[in-house]
Amino acid sequence: MSTDTFRLDGKVAVVTGGGSGIGRAIALAFGSRGAAIHVLDLDEDAAGSTSQEIVDMGGNAVVHGCDVADETDVERTFGEISSHGGIDILVNNAGVAHIGNVETTTGDDFDRIYRVNVKGVFHCMQAAIGGMKERGGGVILNMASVAASVGIADRFAYSMSKGAVLAMTYSAAKDYASHGIRVVSISPARIHTPFVDGFLEANYPGREEEMFAKLSATQPIGRMGTPQEVADLALYLCSDQAAFATGTDYPIDGGFLKLNT
């Protein structure tokens, strides 16, 4: 086996939502494998914390405060990045969640989810893909969800957004395969991130442990996934070892999609 397995030396990677959770884990994993990381987040302080961890481990990272829902902000940010060299890898991880069904989801709720989770992915893909064409290739990894493929209670707007991410992944993969650009997605089930802890604290005060156990049990494997497990899959998909992978969604779900009957 090659000693360069899953190395990203010489690659420039952009990770949106890199200040916490899955995005942070991906940025750290890529940075530890030789990539120069541009950490984008609406919370610039959080992005700075991730960047500092990469630098402390001997890696290379740059911080960008960026609102992916704002086309002008994305164009500015990607223009800054491109002025210092091309982008080899784009990880579209930034996103927001929402709890609600058709009746309880407001128009403002729906628009917010669409702006961040759908248009945010579109803005970043559009900003990066021209440069990838000029350079003769690249990798775009979009973060979808199991909610894109199956019905989950009270996730109406969120499911809509992740279904759109999945469809955009397939379409872009088809359009740009001849340009050497691979486009793939990952669909996690429940992953234990700070968002989960905050959600439980806000909605189930005093019952956090009970509800955490209940949510964990929805995965047949009996637990939630970890950000690091998602990051390890992302590392493979963005490495040269995954050169034959494009136009495919990769569930990482503890059996959620196939074993829940």
Name the H helices within 57-116.
71-83, 107-113
Amino acid at residue number 132: M
**106, burial (CB in 10 Å: exposed 0-12, middle 13-18, buried 19+):** exposed
Is 237:141 a contact under the CB 8 Å cutoff?
A: yes
- What is the spatial distance between Cα 171 and Cα 191, in angstroms, rounded to a whole number? 27
* Set 114, 158, 170, 176: catalytic member: 158
55 by DSSP, 3-state: which? helix
Active site residue 158: yes
Strands 89-92 and 12-16: parallel
- Hey, which residues are catalytic here? 158
